[in-house]
Amino acid sequence: MKLTILGSNAAALRWQAHPTAQVLEIAGRTFLIDCGEATQMQLRRSKVKFSRIKQIFISHLHGDHYYGLIGLISSFELLGRKVPLTVYGPKGIKNLITIQLEASEAQLTYPLHFVELNSDTSERVYEDDKVMVDTIPLRHRIYCNGYLFRAKLGQRRIAIEAANEAEIDVAYFNKLKQGYDVLNKHGELIPNASVTLDPHPPKSYAFCSDTMYYPKIIEQLKGIQVLYHESTFLDSHKHLCERTMHSTAKEAARIAKSANVKTLVLGHYSGRYKDLEDFRREAQEIFPEVRLAKDLKEISF
């Protein structure tokens, strides 16, 4: 699982600090999460292939989370894209994009689909044979969802030395991965558990976009591997959270600790701060495994 940070800043733009956008690669899938201004340029800089993006997940309709979407959709057309693209986001996202396409008389070269969301409870919005994605209802000034990405449990793994000692033909390895007992070269039935290992624990990633401290999400986040949680402010500006409905680094750490996640990634920093390490230091007073989202940073898990 790899996370590429395209933008890590809050709404007020700064030089070389872009608004929210991320690319998540999990179980062979590539998802774009939020799409702030200049996302397509950041995709170029990070060398993420446009063609691999088939789903885009938008958390809410504040501009710093979707103003880059129409540009990216248009660039896909200029590049002659044929593969369908699906955009998941709050109700209204389809109308916003459609108006812009119609005004410019754009003729897309690929199918563009929208899945509009308005539920206040978590729902499964995407699933294939490898990955499932659920919404995480958040508490912000407007309707807002985070997204929980979970890889499905994979196949069993071959214990190569044990399989060779049991004299199992490689033609039967796929059967072993599927959990079956198989015959060896002498016609003996070999128990699956004696020559295979359990699958790797499935990867999981939760993206919690703009939200104030909201303990209701803890139950849904319990035990996940990586949590991204907005941390717009340091504790010294906690008084701003109620008006803006954002969180502090310490509040993000409290969510991570209560949910027993393995790693916390902080981001969506207010432009008033010069040293982002202050966010790490504050969060680590509560939760030790903290990483900072920074533009064009790649984090592998």
- What percentage of residues in the chain have a pLDDT greater than 90? 96
Please state the rounded mean pLDDT for residues 203-232: 98
Residue 5: strand pairing partners: 22
Give the pLDDT of residue 97: 98
User: In this model, does residue 179 exceed pLDDT 90?
Assistant: yes
- Out of 141, 169, 197, a domain closes at 197
Give the DSSP per-residue string, 154-175: ---EE-HHHHHHTT--GGGHHH
282 and 190 housed in the same domain: no
137 and 252 housed in the same domain: yes
Give the pLDDT of residue 29: 97
The number of folded domains in the chain is 2
pLDDT band at 182 (very low <50, low <70, confident <90, very high): very high
Please state the rounded mean pLDDT for residues 167-196: 95
Give the pLDDT of residue 96: 98
135 and 166 housed in the same domain: no
185 and 112 housed in the same domain: no
Q: Among 71, 16, 22, 2, which residue's Cα sits nearest to residue 267?
A: 22
Please state the rounded mean pLDDT for residues 288-292: 98
Give the pLDDT of residue 200: 87
pLDDT band at 139 (very low <50, low <70, confident <90, very high): very high
193 and 206 housed in the same domain: no
296 and 187 housed in the same domain: no
User: In this model, does residue 265 exceed pLDDT 90?
Assistant: yes
pLDDT tens-place string over residues 8-56: 999 877 777 899 999 999 999 999 999 999 999 999 999 999 999 999 9
User: In this model, does residue 158 exceed pLDDT 90?
Assistant: yes
User: In this model, does residue 147 exceed pLDDT 80?
Assistant: yes
Q: Which of 34, 64, 134, 210 is catalytic?
A: 64
Give the pLDDT of residue 13: 73
| pLDDT higher at 149 or 13 | 149
37 and 68 housed in the same domain: yes
Which two tokens mark 263? 């790693």
Which two tokens mark 214? 């909201």
pLDDT tens-place string over residues 57-98: 999 999 999 999 999 999 999 999 999 999 999 999 999 999
Which two tokens mark 278? 């202050």
150 and 81 housed in the same domain: yes
The answer to whether 4 and 23 have CB atoms below 8 angstroms apart is yes
32 and 181 housed in the same domain: no
Distance CA 245, CA 243 (A): 6
CA 150, 218, 57, 297 torsion-angle sign: negative
235 part of the active site: no
User: In this model, does residue 218 exceed pLDDT 80?
Assistant: yes
**Residue given tokens 């027993």 in the structure block:** 260
Q: Are strands 226-230 and 263-267 parallel, antiparallel or unpaired?
A: parallel
pLDDT band at 209 (very low <50, low <70, confident <90, very high): very high
227 and 183 housed in the same domain: no
267 and 167 housed in the same domain: no
pLDDT band at 2 (very low <50, low <70, confident <90, very high): very high
- Out of 168, 197, 226, a domain closes at 197
**Residue given tokens 């395209």 in the structure block:** 6
pLDDT band at 293 (very low <50, low <70, confident <90, very high): very high
Distance CA 297, CA 301 (A): 13
Give the pLDDT of residue 188: 95
Which CATH number goes with the domain that contains 63?
Answer: 3.60.15.10
Give the pLDDT of residue 152: 96
- Domain holding 166, by residue range, is 157-197
User: In this model, does residue 296 exceed pLDDT 90?
Assistant: yes
Q: List C-alpha distances in Å: 55 to 35, 48, 129, 238.
A: 12, 14, 15, 35
Please state the rounded mean pLDDT for residues 231-237: 98
Q: List C-alpha distances in Å: 140 to 144, 146, 241, 247.
A: 6, 11, 10, 10
Mean pLDDT rounded to a whole number for the chain: 96
Q: CB 257: neighbour CB atoms within 10 A? A: 15
Q: List C-alpha distances in Å: 9 to 233, 246, 273.
A: 11, 13, 11
- Out of 197, 221, 251, a domain closes at 197
Q: Are strands 145-151 and 131-137 parallel, antiparallel or unpaired?
A: antiparallel
26 and 37 housed in the same domain: yes
